A and B are shown apart, each in its own frame.
Chain A
């Protein structure tokens, strides 16, 4: 591991463990799961992720799906006084895995491996952090904004008013846009991002969201010569480099999102698809 990587990574225990679900609350279109990780590290790095699976009814049922665990960036992590950490994950019911996870209740077992991957790195010297999130991609920006203690500007984009409730997770001043104009201005995050960069281009952009949003952010930052760090999502079976399933095209060839990312410098990516 290079020194720069070490700074972006907290090592994971080398086995899956059982966390206890403490609460699952509904937040508009999302479910927010709070779980007690009994033995994992207390200080994962923003941008790192965990592989999650329900302790029961995972690999069973009528369709025998879900079978593989699912990758989620953690949204918040708080050291627990008795060891381990309280972790929060934000998810949206989009398939059998997220559906099953959304059914969990307090007291249920949550199987968990992590933290995994390389998280966000420090901002370029002399720049202000600018956080840009889309939809479920706001999750890793939440812990990053907490770490930056309000020093960051935050721009969030959502599909609808129900999704825009995700902005309630953030303290302080947040710019929200929606696809349908139901909350904030109607439009894409690149609108307010462009305005921000027009007024002050000494920024490091941290972004997570759907591929089209990340590509728009990457292209805009490249055009303005602004440093950006993009947290990518990819379907993956394992999360720790074993399956080679989650590759993305980079300047260095196809790389694994799970161990070479999920956070990549925008300049290292050719095009986000």
Chain B
């Protein structure tokens, strides 16, 4: 209990620190750490790894590259698919003592509808996050890079569930705030950002792409300044609650995102260094709040 309890898209949370999708596997973590992991769960809500309609193996290894103050990953969304998720993962995740947010990605509107309907029908699920960092299979455009594509996706699934829908923006867009505004107009309940920045590494000897997926997503403290700017811009543009993330390693980092206009924050890469990072960051944030040392919400400035 941090004294920072809040309502996020109508869901009560004991505090504002979530995990970023795809950076914490609560089921695997329970295998490694046992019941202690559930008793001292590091986050105030749990966001699943992205679920797709069909099962996916993910990208061939190697999948990781360490950068200065960060990393590249090319994981490729391995998951059991919707049926496998509902049958195997969801019952285990329902044991967690925090609200459950399920991240989904559809490769077309039919897939997305099946995911939102199937997951939205489950009472264990508090919220759905739409991962829009996927290409439209017909146009090749990344859905989340385009306000019109994002709005069209939401138009399609908004009527299918009463659950809050959070749109996870990609930073690889010309104007993420315009995408956020389009999502708001199309009925989204919240916005989360940033996803990873596109990046690349070459094999030190051969000069070929190092990652099995050729390119990857960059994360960690190296991207924090970029994330903070994008969060500030989006929070400026929309009324919806914003979940800010990107390289958050400390309570001070989290406080910056809150001051930039985020309602909640998420921890990603820092959890790789320590599974208890989320809890530590919550405690640091609570100490800042108790000491009156949270920065005021930055003055809204349209020239930003």
Identify the A interface with B (CB < 8 A).
1, 5, 11-16, 53, 59, 63-69, 111, 113, 116-117, 234-248, 253-254, 256, 259
Contact = CB atoms under 8 A, between A and B. Distances in A.
A153 B273 CA distance: 37
B63 A240 contact: no
B97 to A, nearest CB: 14
A16 B28 CA distance: 17
B299 interface: no
Interface string B262-278: 00000001011111100
B82 to A, nearest CB: 18
Given A65-B66, A67-B71, A11 B32 contact: yes
Contacts of B273: 16, 53, 67-69, 238
Interface in B212-235: 220-222
Chain B CB within 10 A, most for which of A12, A65, A237: A237
A15 B68 contact: no
Contact of A242 (B58, B61, B63, B271): B271
Interface residues of B, number: 42
Contacts of A66: 66
Nearest to B32: A240
Contacts of B62: 235, 245
A234 B220 CA distance: 21
A242 B57 CA distance: 16
Contacts of B57: 253-254
Given A14-B275, A245-B75, A67 B66 contact: yes
Contacts of B68: 63-65, 67
Given A1-B31, A244-B75, A237 B69 contact: no
B67 interface: yes
A16 B66 contact: no
Contacts of B220: 67
Interface in B21-49: 22-25, 27-29, 31-34, 36-37, 40, 42, 49
A193 to B, nearest CB: 27
B294 interface: no
- Among A13, A116, A241, find the residue whose CB has the most chain B CB atoms closer than 10 A: A241
A240 to B, nearest CB: 4
B276 A244 contact: no
Nearest to B274: A16
B31 A241 contact: yes
B70 interface: yes
A111 B277 CA distance: 13
Contacts of B40: 14-15
B160 interface: no
A252 B34 CA distance: 24
A259 B69 contact: no
B52 interface: no
B71 A237 contact: yes
Nearest to B38: A14
A68 B69 contact: no
Contact of B276 (A16, A241, A256): A16
Contacts of B58: 244, 247, 254
Contact of B275 (A16, A59, A67, A248): A16
A151 B251 CA distance: 52
B61 A243 contact: no
A136 B49 CA distance: 34
B221 to A, nearest CB: 8
B118 interface: no
B33 A12 contact: yes
A165 B173 CA distance: 55
Contacts of B37: 14
Contacts of A117: 32
A100 to B, nearest CB: 13
Nearest to A59: B69
Interface pairs A-B: 8 shortest CB-CB: A241-B28, A15-B276, A16-B274, A14-B33, A64-B68, A245-B64, A238-B272, A237-B272
